[in-house]
Amino acid sequence: MTFDAAPLEAAPPRVLGNLRIRSLEAFALEVPLGRTVANPVLAFSSSVALLIRALDDDGVEGWGEVWCNFPRFGVRHRARLVSEVFAPMLSGRSFASPAEAWEAMTSASRILRLQSGEPGPIAAAIAGIDIALCDLAAKRAEQPLWRWLGGARGRVRVYASLGRADPALPTLERWLARGFTAFKLRSSGALADHVAVVRPARTLVGDACELMLDVNSSWDPELAIATVGELREHALAWLEEPIPADEPAEIWRRLARAAPMPLAGGENLITAATFDAVLAEGSLAVLQPDITKWGGISGGMPLARRIVASGRRFCPHMFTGAPGVLASAHLLAAADAPDGMLEFGVGPNPARDAMLDRVPDGGTLELGEAPGLGLEVDLRRLAPYLVQP
């Protein structure tokens, strides 16, 4: 796989040297929410994040993040995959680029992925390490990550993604007042329960705003096909994961034909081959890969370009801490997706908020000119939340 970064000749001299990795460290965070939140997958009462710090021989550091939201205790397991499998594999080695390191990790863990039956956690660990290495490489090149990836603009549109436990209307009012123009709702239960959430929301935000609904894979496929048309009047910008991602292609095709709105998905898909099959199959009009689950920047950037080239809408899924949010924003900016939007969870996410130094305003996230992700991680501030893997 080639790495779609800016041409080397356009970069300052410092990027031309090899990427020499001195160390990789994993930091597991767990912050109590003070309440229990339930969704169709499970109930949880804490906010977790797994941060990765990469250091090179010159002491330049890069930060990445590994997806670990479900189950919450998975944060510990993935931290150990990083510190006990990949840190020894990469430490002391040199690579021409983060993409080369990504390929090396992917190739070297092939048998482990098969033997352990854990392709997901291993892919997520590799993704988080890759993000850290890309942050580091862009810092060495003294460029913001979006420009290092070949992008022309350092700003992205974001949408407010409501948590399941958030009261919909007051939350919408708050983010509408901040200038947001796109909102994603969640609800559970029968179609009537979803309509009860969507109808007053549409009345509140008006027809000029985009409104989306995420069902988190919770509908019965035949019932979804029979009833999805009843949502037509609410003019949803997309309906997200009405059924599980691994339902047969024929079921997805029937649902897409019956749906009066675009269908969205991708957060529960991993590997380039799977995404390419979904792109070729055609039922999803909105693609939402999560680069902290699979791909990182090195796998995610070429995929983003394929999504945009296919004419689909590229809207990265994101429900992690600050490195994941910023990495996705830089990637989206570099992908130059005409109608792309980044998910920004507005429900409680103390692990993210403890390290994110900016909240998007006016419905956009400005990435600025700071090198790499533009993120300073203060471990002293995070110390109360660090947990032992």
Residues near Mg ion (CB under 5 A) are: 214, 240
Q: How far is the CB of 261 from Mg ion (least distance, A)?
A: 15
The residue among 46 and 69 lying less far from Mg ion, judged by its C-beta, is: 69
The residue among 86 and 344 lying less far from Mg ion, judged by its C-beta, is: 344
The residue among 27 and 238 lying less far from Mg ion, judged by its C-beta, is: 238
Which residue has the closest beta carbon to Mg ion?
214
Q: How far is the CB of 216 from Mg ion (least distance, A)?
A: 6
The residue among 65 and 240 lying less far from Mg ion, judged by its C-beta, is: 240
Q: How far is the CB of 214 from Mg ion (least distance, A)?
A: 4
Provide the token pair at 225. 């096909």
- What are the distances in angstroms from CA 190 to CA 132, 202, 351? 42, 19, 32
154 contacts 143 by C-beta, under 8 angstroms: no
Provide the token pair at 221. 């496929």
Q: How far is the CB of 249 from Mg ion (least distance, A)?
A: 20
224 contacts 255 by C-beta, under 8 angstroms: yes
Token look-up 């080639």 returns: 2
Buried-exposed string 90-118: b where 16+ CB fall within 10 A, e elsewhere:
beeeebebbbbbbbbbbeebeeebeeeeb
The residue among 40 and 350 lying less far from Mg ion, judged by its C-beta, is: 40
Q: How far is the CB of 331 from Mg ion (least distance, A)?
A: 18
Q: What is the 3-state secondary structure of the chain?
A: CCCCCCCHHHCCHHHHCCEEEEEEEEEEEEEEEEEEEECCCCEEEEEEEEEEEEEECCCCEEEEEECCCCCCCHHHHHHHHHHHHHHHHHCCCEECCHHHHHHHHHHHCHHHHHHHCCHHHHHHHHHHHHHHHHHHHHHHCCCEHHHHCCCCCCEEEEEEECCCCCCHHHHHHHHHHCCCCEEEEECCCCHHHHHHHHHHHHHHHCCCCEEEEECCCCCCHHHHHHHHHHHHHHCCCEEECCCCCCCCHHHHHHHHHHCCCCEEECCCCCCHHHHHHHHHHCCCCEECCCCCCCCHHHHHHHHHHHHHHCCCEECCCCCCCHHHHHHHHHHHHHHCCCCCCEEEECCCCHHHHCCCCCCCECCEEECCCCCECCCCCCHHHHHHHEECC
Q: How far is the CB of 371 from Mg ion (least distance, A)?
A: 31
Q: How far is the CB of 267 from Mg ion (least distance, A)?
A: 5
The residue among 126 and 162 lying less far from Mg ion, judged by its C-beta, is: 162
The residue among 348 and 389 lying less far from Mg ion, judged by its C-beta, is: 348
The residue among 181 and 217 lying less far from Mg ion, judged by its C-beta, is: 217
Q: How far is the CB of 382 from Mg ion (least distance, A)?
A: 26
The residue among 135 and 214 lying less far from Mg ion, judged by its C-beta, is: 214
The residue among 139 and 157 lying less far from Mg ion, judged by its C-beta, is: 157
Instruction: Pick the closest to residue 168 from 149, 154, 187, 151 (CA basis).
Output: 187
Q: How far is the CB of 343 from Mg ion (least distance, A)?
A: 8
